[in-house]
Structure formats: structure tokens, C-alpha cells
Amino acid sequence: MTLALCATGRSESHLCDWQGHRLNREALADFQRLQRLAQGDGIDLRIASGYRSFSRQAMIWNNKYLGVRPVYDATQQLVDLTALPAIERLHAIMLYSALPGASRHHFGSDFDVWDPSTVAEDYQLQLNPDEYASNGPFATLNAWLSEHLHELGFYRPYLKYLGGVAAEPWHISHISSAETLQGWQTPATIADALNKSEVAGKDEILPHLDELYERYVLTLCAPE
């Protein structure tokens, strides 16, 4: 039961603290090795976002669903959710934001990473594809990740767009620690989490949960 709660962001018993973020205890040593390897190549590999709880993800979700926080499409254009049919609203949000209970950030094995040494101290990180493109500030980091992530058991599940989540070159995943919790993040455990909470659009989500799960949770890139 605890594993189902960890996998859906409702228990924190799998986590430890590192550099102001929370991460999976089983991912810590490999992440520290990855940072040292990067440091040797002049890269300051840092976590922008690590573990995220169900309630934090629900807040992000609700703010997008209710129009408090902007929703962008794959070309970074603002989307008017009110102009869309209910099911399309879900797809528009899920391009960049997971359903609460269905985020890989619940695992603590997945992090959004950046390199603060290549930008000004007051730089506002956006986590958009331009920043990681070949003329962006994190181009060197992006190329380094392609070359070295696999050496310490990491990969990028959203490296390319495969019809589910948008391409997110900044999102890295520690394969072995994610694997355990992935098996516990199922339509049943996600539905249980949703049923016990206030999530906007819940009545539209639950009848479509199996297809949403297939498209956004199971559609992942293979390790590089």
C-alpha cells in the first residue's frame, strides 16, 4: 500500500534531501556521481524540480484548468481552454503537466535539470525547448546529457514527442528507482488518488483515465 501512495505522490517515505530538493533515496548516490562527472566536464548540473507531491501537482493542474496559470501549446502559443471541448482541455494541459497522481515527479527518481553557470544570476528558468536548443544557454548541457546519462543509469523519457507528453530534454529519470514505483502508478491507484481529492475536471478525467494513462504515462522514449 505504501508503494502505491509513494507512486501517486501521497507518501514521502521514499525520499531524502539533497541541495534543497527531495529525491528518491535509491537515486541519490547515482545522481551525486552524475553531478561529479558533469563537474569534471565544466558543467554545474543542478535540479530545478525534483519530487513533487500529489497536492502540489493538483495545485498546478487546478490553476491551469481554471485559467489561473497559462497553458501553452507545443509552439509556445497560449491556449484558450474555454474555447475547447472538455476532453480537449485535458489533452491541452497534459502536453506539459501530468494529471495529479500520474506525474513521474512523484517517484523522486525524476528531475528537471539545468546549468546555472551558463546564465546570469538573476536568470528566470523557463524550462522551454528553446533554452536547450543548439543556440540556447543549455545547449552544452543537453549534448552532455545525451553522451553521459546512460553511464549512471539515467535516461530521458520525454526526449522526443511521441504523441503524449511534449519533448522535455530537461527531464531526466533514474531508471532503477523509477521502475519500482512505475509499477504502482496504475489507472487504479491514480483513480483512487483522484477520487479522494479535489481535482478540477475530475468528472471528465475518470471516464477517460485508461486512454489518458496509455497516452501520457505509458508513452515514453527508450533509454538513449
Is residue 171 a contact point for Zn ion (CB under 5 A)? yes
Which C-beta is closer to Zn ion: that of 128 or that of 204? 128
State in angstroms the smallest separation of the CB of 220 from Zn ion. 13
Distance CA 56, CA 72 (A): 20
Per-residue x/- track, 66-105, Zn ion (CB under 5 A): ----------------------------------------
Closest residue to Zn ion, based on beta-carbon distance: 171
The CA angle 206-88-50, to the nearest 5 degrees, is 70
Asked if residues 42 and 118 have their Cβ atoms less than 8 Å apart, the reply is no
Q: Count the residues of the shown chain that bind Zn ion, applying the rule CB under 5 A.
A: 2
Task: Choose one: 58-66, 138-146, 166-174, 204-212; the region binding Zn ion (CB under 5 A).
Answer: 166-174
Is residue 112 a contact point for Zn ion (CB under 5 A)? yes
Distance CA 153, CA 129 (A): 24
**What 3-state DSSP class applies to 173?**
strand
State in angstroms the smallest separation of the CB of 200 from Zn ion. 21
Q: Which residues contact 84 (CB under 8 A, 6 or more apart)?
A: 92
Backbone angles phi, psi at 168, to 5 degrees: -130, 85
Which C-beta is closer to Zn ion: that of 112 or that of 131? 112
Is residue 131 a contact point for Zn ion (CB under 5 A)? no
- What's the Cα-to-Cα distance from 143 to each of 27, 44, 60, 138, rounded to whole Å? 22, 14, 30, 9
Which C-beta is closer to Zn ion: that of 73 or that of 120? 73
State in angstroms the smallest separation of the CB of 125 from Zn ion. 12
Q: Which residues bind Zn ion (CB under 5 A)?
A: 112, 171
